[in-house]
Amino acid sequence: MLSVQDRAIVKSTVPLLESGGEALITHFYRMMLSEYPEVRPLFNQAHQASGDQPRALANGVLMYARHIDQLDQLGDLVAKIINKHVALQILPEHYPIVGACLLRAISEVLGEEIATPEVMSAWGAAYGQLADILIGAEGAIYDQKEQAVGGWRGAREFIVAAKVEESAEIISFYFEPADKGPILAAEPGQYIGMKLILDGEEIRRNYSLSALANKGQYRISVKREPGGRASNHLHDQLHVGASIQLFPPSGEFTLTASEKPLVLISGGVGITPTLAMLEAALETERPVHFIHCARNGSVHAFRDWVDGLAARHPQLKRFYCYADDDGVSPAADKVGLLSLEQLGEWLPEQRDVDAYFLGPKGFMGAIKRHLKALGVPEKQSRYEFFGPASALE
């Protein structure tokens, strides 16, 4: 446990982190990724280049410093970090590398007048405390996943059983274990980690499971991203019969059991985790409003599948909104951006619902504001980022 003095010193650095935390963390990443190539596979270089990852970690460090004496207030943030770490297989031996580089960055960016021996000692103790918390929690999850039916630890070999084009941009991959054994159950909304070797370099990625894992296989549905190393490799090079290394399913953005009406709102490839949620909800009599937004019909994946479900399940109402009409695809229910008024018409009349939404950041920001304005309780409005988390305004 940190001493009272250490906590006070860490809290005293909050103003510095507020004004210069992103620069400090950018320096930290540059140093660590250049000097310790063994940790490079754990970090998405596109997120580094965009600045999303440094911003996310800078915010995490700031929140930790602010609440150093009230760590219980960081429950949701810590849970997200733990699940991301488990999906990517962050291990205890990685923490000393991160800690050493973080302390060096503090010293080099803040300078010796600010980064005094007392400050460095306090932050060293604070990092050690956080590392112990994360290592302990992650170790417990690794053990749990290994001991569960169909579970495993680390990477496991799977085979591509099927590859299906879902739209002009999205392809689904079905994976079955090479050892023919059972697979670990996954909660609707979770994602799975994978290890790829591209041009001799290892990279790791997480992809949402786009179907319930109840048939001895996992399905992911991947959008081809311009310049995306992993997505382009999967689209172009990963074929039926190929082998791939997967990590156990993880993630805390999962469907909560409830009798309240369920509202699923997605934009673009954000549809993927909502599909598993939709499947699970329809196994009950729970009312579901499924709302999907896409640029146009050519990039709208799974429309026929959702339409088929709606025809068989009267409790499912589905609505589609396209930014523009391509003149070829089946018509949407609305053309243009999803407005407050239109969303209000598509929601259940009673706003006591559970709402889950995913998509591009700007889209999610608008949906969050719309749901609040329409009377959906904020605690029942949930979202997740594909990639590093950030604030939604």
Cα–Cα distance for residue pair 211/41, rounded to 1 Å: 27
Tokens for 276, please give them: 């598993």
How many other C-beta atoms are found inside a 10 Å radius of the C-beta of residue 27?
Answer: 17
Using a 10 angstrom Cβ sphere, with 0-12 exposed, 13-18 middle and 19 or more buried, the burial of residue 171 is buried
| Cβ neighbours for 295, distance < 8 A, ≥ 6 positions apart | 268, 322, 323, 324
Residue whose structure tokens are 């009409």: 325
138 is catalytic: yes
CB-CB contact of 103 with 120 (8 Å): yes
Backbone angles phi, psi at 13, to 5 degrees: -90, 0
Question: What b/e sequence results for 303-332 when a residue is b if at least 16 CB atoms lie within 10 Å of its CB, and e otherwise?
Answer: beebeebbeebeebbbbbbbeeeeeebeeb
How many other C-beta atoms are found inside a 10 Å radius of the C-beta of residue 294?
Answer: 25
Q: Which of 22, 64, 127, 138 is catalytic?
A: 138
Cα–Cα distance for residue pair 111/330, rounded to 1 Å: 61
165 is catalytic: no
Q: Which of 64, 95, 127, 320 is catalytic?
A: 95
| Cβ neighbours for 48, distance < 8 A, ≥ 6 positions apart | 29, 33, 54
Residue whose structure tokens are 């799977």: 158
Tokens for 225, please give them: 């991203």
Three-class DSSP category at 41: helix
- Which are the catalytic amino acids? 95, 138
